[in-house]
Structure 1
Amino acid sequence: MLKSPLFEDANIEVFMKRDDLNHPEIQGNKWHKLKFNLEQAKLQNKTTLLTFGGAYSNHIAATAAAAKLYGFSSMGFIRGDELQNTPSKWSHTLKTAHLNGMQLHFLSRTDYRLKSQLNFQHQLQQSYPDAWIIPEGGSNDLAIAGLQTLATEIDQQCPNWTHLITAVGTGATLSGLVRHLKMNSAQTVLGVATLGSGDFLKTDICRWIQNDNDWVAEKNPKNWAFLNLENPIRYGKITPEIELTQQQFRAEFDIVLDPIYTAKMVLGFYEALSKNRFPPNSKIILLHTGGLQGLQTLTSDPF
C-alpha cells in the first residue's frame, strides 16, 4: 500500500502491483505475454524467435533476453530503415537486444505497416521456416492466456479493488486482465495509452476480450475504459512532466518507473485524482509492468 497525504485527503487507498519483480530478466507483462509463446515455439521445434517493434520497444528487449535465456536465436524487424547503417544512433533498447544476440532488420515505415498482413506473414514464414513469429508487442492469443496468472494474483492479493490502472501499448495486457479478472460491476480497469488516445486499439481489445462465448453474459461491457492524458505524449518522447513524475514517485515511495509506460500510467492516475475521478473509499491498484530497461532510452523523438 502506498501512503501519501494526498491519498488520505482524497479518502482513497492506493496500491502498486510490483509486476516488475516477477522475473529477473524478462520482467513485468512481457514475461506473461511471452511464456506461452516460448512453450509453443519449443513444441513446434522452432529455433528462432522473430518479432517486430520500434526503437524503444520493451518487447524487442524482452524477446532478445528470452531467446538468449531459453536457447533460441532471435530476429527483430525494426520500424525505421534510417537506422540500418547508423548503429551509433540506436536506442539503448536496440543496443541491448543486439548484445543479447538479436539480429536486427530495419524496415521502412511503409513496409513495416505490412507486418500484420497475411501475405507478408506467409512470405516471412517461408523465408524463415524455423522461426516462431510473434506479433508486435508480443500481443496474440497466447499472450492473453498468459495474463491469467497475473489476474489470479491480483484477485487473491487485493480482491476488493475498485480501479486497476495499467499502461496500454498494444492493448493486450488490458485485454487479458479484463478477460481473466473476477470482476463485478463496481470494478473498472483503466488504461493509460502510451500512443495517442488509444481509440485505434478498441477493435483489437474487444476481440481479445470477447474471445470467449460467455464473456457478454458474464461481464459488464463498461468495466474498462481509457484514462487519457490531458496532453498526450508521443511514444518514446520523454517530457519534463514524465521526468518529474519519475523523480517525485521515487522520492516518495522508493519505486522506480520507466519513462515509456509506467511513468505515463502514474501521470494519468494523478491527473485523474486531481479531477476527483475516484470516489471516496476507492481502492486503486497501479500496475507496474516493468520495462525498466527503458530508463536508458534516449530522450528524443521516436523513430
Structure 2
Amino acid sequence: MGSSEDEQVGFASLPSPLVELHDERLTRHGVHLQLKRDDLINPEIPGNKWRKLRYNLQAAREEGFSRLLTFGGAFSNHIRATAAAGQHFGFETVGVIRGEEHNPLNESLAYATKRGMVLTYLDRATYRRKTEPDVLAALQDRFGPCYLLPEGGSNGLAVRGVAELVSEITTDFDIICCATGTGGTLAGIAAGLAGQQRALGFAVLKGGQFLEEEVRRLQREAYGVATANWTIEVDFHFGGYAKRTLALDTFIADFHERHGVTPDWVYEAKMLCGLFAHIEAGAFSSGTRIIAVLS
C-alpha cells in the first residue's frame, strides 16, 4: 500500500468553492457574505472532518497502527467521518459513544456501523473521564493497539489541517465564521488568518464558554502559541448539542427556500442563524466582508 499522502491524492475535492450569497438582509446592511462550501469536499468525509483527519491518518499509518479509536455523541459527524475514512483507507475503527445504547440505531450510528465501525458505549460519568489513563487503558485492553483520535477529531494535527482552509481563499475578507463544537475548526481557522482578519465561532452546545480555553489549548498544541484574533458566540445553541427548536427549523426552511442550501441543523444552521441575527442587529459595519464555512 502506498503512503497516506499518495492515497489521499484525488480523494478530496480541493479547494472547496466560494459562493456569493444574495439576500436582501445582507444588502440592507451593506454586508457581503460568501459561503465556503467545505461540505462539498467529499460526500462521506466533508469539510472540517476531512481537514482534521488528513494528517492524523498519515500519522496513524506512519506509526504502524491499523485501528482508529475515537469518541463522540450519538449524532457525531466525526464518528461518521472516521468510520468512512477507516473503510476507505484500510483502518479498523472503534467508536466510543457517550451515554447508553439505544436501538434501533439513529441514522448517524447506523451509517457508522455500515462502514465497519465497532461501537461501544460509556455512561456519561465515565465518558467525562474519557481522557484519563484508566479509562483509556481499559479501552486499549479491550480493543488492542489503537491510534487515539479525540472527540471531534480535534488535536494539534487537526488544527494544522484546518488552517490550510484559509490559504484556499483568494478573495479579500474581514471575518470568517464557523460552527464550534470542540474548538478545533475555530483554532485552525484563526491560526491561518493574517492582518486584521478575525474568526467568529458559534458554539453549538449549551455552556460553550469553556471552548475559549480549548481553542487556546489546541493552538498551543499545534503551534506553541495561541492567537487573539477570534471570539466565540455562545447564545445560539438552541437548547444544546444536537437539540433543535421551531425557530431553528423555520430558519433552515427559509434559508433553503432563499438559497437552495439546507444547512446541517446540528452545526451549520446554528452558526448561520446566529450570523444573520448579528447582521440584522447591525453588529457589522457597512462594507464588512464575511465568509461562513459550511462543513
TM-score normalised according to structure 1 size: 0.86
Matches within 5 A, 1:190-209: 190-209=200-219
Equivalents in 1 of 2:237, 2:182: separation in Å?
20
Tell me what 1:247 maps to.
253
Tell me what 2:149 maps to.
134
SS at match of 1:201: helix
Tell me what 1:184 maps to.
195
Question: How much does 1:55 deviate?
Answer: 0.4
Equivalents in 1 of 2:268, 2:293: separation in Å?
8
Tell me what 2:106 maps to.
91
Question: How much does 1:231 deviate?
Answer: 6.8
Matches within 5 A, 1:72-221: 72-81=91-100, 83=101, 86-88=102-104, 90-154=105-169, 157-158=170-171, 160-181=172-193, 183-185=194-196, 187-211=197-221, 212-213=223-224, 215=225, 221=228
SS at match of 2:242: coil
In angstroms, what is the RMSD of aligned CA positions? 1.7
Question: How much does 1:53 deviate?
Answer: 0.5
Cα pair distance change 1:139/1:244, threshold 3 Å: same
Tell me what 1:301 maps to.
none
Deviations 1:120-157 (A, max 9, x none): 23443344343111110001111111113212112xx2
Cα pair distance change 1:37/1:13, threshold 3 Å: same
Equivalents in 2 of 1:231, 1:75: separation in Å?
28
Amino acid across the alignment from 2:185 = T
Equivalents in 2 of 1:77, 1:69: separation in Å?
20
Tell me what 1:274 maps to.
280
SS at match of 1:110: helix
SS at match of 1:196: coil
Q: Percent identity at matched positions?
A: 35
Question: How much does 1:189 deviate?
Answer: 0.6
Larger RCO (alpha carbons 8 Å, 6+ apart): 1
Tell me what 2:3 maps to.
none
Deviations 1:179-225 (A, max 9, x none): 122x223x221110001242111212112224435x56xx5x2x211
Preserved contact between residue 228 and residue 268 of structure 1 (Cα < 8 Å): no
Preserved contact between residue 26 and residue 62 of structure 1 (Cα < 8 Å): yes
Equivalents in 1 of 2:63, 2:144: separation in Å?
11
Preserved contact between residue 230 and residue 271 of structure 1 (Cα < 8 Å): no
Paired residue total: 275
Equivalents in 2 of 1:56, 1:283: separation in Å?
32
Equivalents in 2 of 1:198, 1:110: separation in Å?
19
Instruction: Using the TM superposition, name which of 230-239 and 2-11 deviates more.
Output: 230-239
Amino acid across the alignment from 1:30 = K
Preserved contact between residue 17 and residue 288 of structure 1 (Cα < 8 Å): yes
Cα pair distance change 1:3/1:62, threshold 3 Å: same
Equivalents in 1 of 2:163, 2:187: separation in Å?
11
Q: Which blocks of at least 5 consecutive residues in structure 1 are unaligned?
A: 290-303
Amino acid across the alignment from 1:204 = E
Amino acid across the alignment from 1:245 = F
- Indicate which of 253, 259, 263 corresponds to 1:257: 263
Q: Which blocks of at least 5 consecutive residues in structure 2 are unaligned?
A: 1-19
Deviations 1:55-74 (A, max 9, x none): 01000011111111111111
